[in-house]
Amino acid sequence: MKYIDLRSDTVTKPTPEMRKAMFEAEVGDDVYHEDPTVTALEKRTAEILGKEAAIFMPSGTMTNQVAIRCHTEPGDEVLMDVSTHIYFYEVGAPGALSGVMCRLIPGIRGIFTGRDVEVFLRAKDIYFPPTRLICVENTHNRGGGSIWPLEQIASVAAAAKRHNLIFHMDGARLWNASAETGISEADYCGYFDTVSVCYSKGLGAPIGSALAGSAEFVERARRFRKQFGGGMRQAGFIAAGALYALEYHRARLVEDHTNARLFAEGICDLPGIDLDPATVQTNIVKFRVSSGSPFELVEKLKAAGVLMSATDVDTIRAVTHLDVTREEVEHAVEIFRSTMERNGL
């Protein structure tokens, strides 16, 4: 059976053109700084993000965790939203790899304010861990692909500056935020000391993320990338896929957003589905199921040819991407509706 796969935008396959670029890539030993394709990718990424330098790594989890390790000391505290990827989906890495505590802010769809920072910031006291770092995620995965408004970023950045805190963005899907709003990646990143971006989600590359910041910071990050096992040798093959995606797949992300809204509008009126299409800002559709188990519904949808993810005891997530056409999204809506009706949900 050929599935319509809406589990994640990580499931994309390289396009024929991307495969060609990867096959023809010039390579070298990147640990020795001798891979020209990796170097080109890092330079182009830094240019787009408005940063001095960038470093290529295998995954977004590694880029985020290297950033935390660079910015903190064991026993420090990091402020972030309660549902941010760094806390929720990175296997306890802040504590395991950097020895830091996460202080969690209950934001709205993953977004909080400078005032929230003031409220949750620890007082300077011998009994408390010192706060060193603030992390935000844009777009916010568990917030349903929510986009941080620029004024909210500015508010948090101002609070960080007042208290001499470092500001990091997990921008795995920053490309989606920029495509939707028209605000350049550099304008978003201008508020942050460091930024992590991903090539293997909406952009459709098979592997890779990057961490960007000052040249001095990136040089420090190289040490911890190696320490965490992320030093790669002839990495130009995979860097070429990321470089191709960066140049040719950013503009088309709005198609995924349109398809996500199409899917949301197609199922929102069903009994037992709690979904406001107006909340769908990018390529993630997150909705509650009030009749039956979302895990059982996901299995029934799989049997009918559509793959989605149950993310909580009452929540399902669908994600549109490069490998799903408008026609397939329309067909997924038909399958979803008939599955709900057939099972009396």
From first to last of its 345 residues, the chain has per-residue pLDDT tens of: 799 999 999 999 999 999 999 999 999 999 999 999 999 999 999 999 999 999 999 999 999 999 999 999 999 999 999 999 999 999 999 999 999 999 999 999 999 999 999 999 999 999 999 999 999 999 999 999 999 999 999 999 999 999 999 999 999 999 999 999 999 999 999 999 999 999 999 999 999 999 999 999 999 999 999 999 999 999 999 999 999 999 999 999 999 999 999 999 999 999 999 999 999 999 999 999 988 899 999 999 999 999 999 998 999 999 999 999 999 999 999 999 999 988 765
E strand spans, 90-178: 101-105, 131-137, 166-171
The CATH number assigned to the domain with range 14-248 reads: 3.40.640.10
Query: Does domain 253-342 fall into CATH 3.40.50.720?
Result: no
- What is the chain's Cα-based Rg? 20
Tell me the C-alpha distance between 45 and 291, whole Å: 45
For the chain, residues classed under CATH 3.40.640.10 are 14-248
CB distance 282 to 173 below 8 Å: yes
Q: How far apart are CA 272 and CA 266, in angstroms?
A: 14
- Kindly give, in sequence order, each residue whose CB lies less than 8 Å from that of residue 334, ignoring residues fewer than 6 positions away: none
> What's the burial of 286, exposed, middle or buried (CB within 10 Å: 0-12/13-18/19+)?
buried
What interhelical angle do 215-227 and 60-71 show, nearest 10?
110
Q: Beta-carbon neighbour count of residue 77 at 10 Å?
A: 19
- pTM, two decimal places: 0.96
pLDDT attached to residue 286: 97
Separation of alpha carbons 73 and 84, rounded Å:
21
Query: How would you classify the pairing of strands 53-57 and 209-213?
Result: antiparallel
Rounded to whole angstroms, how far apart are CA atoms 287 and 275?
5
- Residue range(s) in the chain whose domain bears CATH number 3.90.1150.10: 253-342
